[in-house]
Amino acid sequence: MIAKRVLAIAACAAAAIGLASAQEVQFFRIGTGGLGGTYFSIGNLIASAISNPPGSRNCASGDSCGVPGLVAVAQSSIGSVANIEAIRSGSLESAITQSDVAYWAVTGTGIYAGNDRVDSLRAIANLYPESVHLVARKGAGISSVRDLKGKRVSLDEPGSGTLVDARIILEAYGLSEKDIKAEFIKPTPAIDRIKNNQLDAFFIVVGFPAGAVSKIVSGIGAKIVPIDGPEVKAILAEYRFFTETVIPAGAYGGVGEIKTISVGAQWVVDAIVDDEVVYQITKSLWNARSRKLLDGGHMQGRAITLETALDGVEIPLHRGAARYYREVGLLK
């Protein structure tokens, strides 16, 4: 339904250009993630919230409360690292990314050590926590991360934040890619390989409930493996963007509470995007109509709140976003 709404918005905008020549149409891209992940769902919700094509009724009339003339579109992608590189290259205006990857990109540390920093990366908002899911085929003998040794495990594609975090977790448990039969594919093909007994487990970092995870857990007898123990303490001590968390009971049908770790999902933008545009986008994200969209569109949408908009943001805010947060008292 959300994707259809975005397509309808774009079609409406195209039809309205001739009737509203006085109002310039501006397209705004939001990089997300794979089609089965939370990034894509949340990106579509945000695109709907901030769009207001020419010819739309204004907010006071009960229609869009988005930015006048703006048509936002969520684009699927490989994930966090690829999104940041797309912003660097200018092929995206904005994207959703993991907080740790954003910090490393701006500071030239972590996976960006020895590489050029992404100096133009700026934050619009922290969105929601996303949890590391380790999904394993039942019967594969996997009850902990250590049990992955010798198993066929997908760490996600190069360019994804999941791959970065999976490597950190393996290292904390005394494993490396040499200790497993590593594959580098997205969750959807990973599910197919588990169905055909060609894969034993896969990692995905995503807000719960993720469609891809729900599908495999409820349909073909897979399980979510806890990530806990003293190894987690070591991870938290070295990487401050991780936090201990739980996937609550019932998030995936009859599955009970699962201990794991999480990072923040953040909406980032290129510094060159116009200050006024980002100010209006930020303002639109936090209006009452957007609140209804977020609350009704996805479980993680309810976690996207103004009160937590700056939590864990360790990269510079875009000037337009900072202006809004000063107005509402979140910044001095």
Same domain, 241 and 308: no
Same domain, 153 and 222: yes
CATH code of 22's domain: 3.40.190.10
Which of 244, 264, 284 is the last residue in one of the domains? 264
The C-alpha torsion from 306 through 311 and 314 to 318, rounded to 10°, is 0
Is 172 domain-assigned?
yes
Is 257 domain-assigned?
yes
Same domain, 228 and 103: no
Same domain, 254 and 135: yes
Q: What percent of the chain has pLDDT over 70?
A: 90
Residue 239 has pLDDT above 90, yes or no: no
Global pTM value = 0.74
Same domain, 206 and 134: yes
Same domain, 192 and 293: no
Same domain, 110 and 153: no
The half-sphere exposure of 79 on its side-chain side, counting CA atoms within 13 A, is 25
Q: How many domains does the chain have?
A: 2
Each residue's pLDDT tens digit, 131-184: 999 999 999 999 999 999 999 999 998 878 889 899 999 999 999 999 999 999
Which of 215, 245, 264 is the last residue in one of the domains? 264
Confidence class for position 27, pLDDT limits 50, 70, 90: very high
Residue 267's nearest CA partner among 57, 30, 8 is 30
Each residue's pLDDT tens digit, 269-287: 999 999 999 999 999 999 9
What's the average model confidence in pLDDT over 240-260?
A: 89
Range of the domain at 214: 130-264
Which of 248, 264, 280 is the last residue in one of the domains? 264
Same domain, 80 and 168: no
Same domain, 100 and 217: no
Give the per-residue pLDDT at 2. Answer: 44
Residue 287's nearest CA partner among 38, 61, 64 is 64
Same domain, 7 and 29: yes
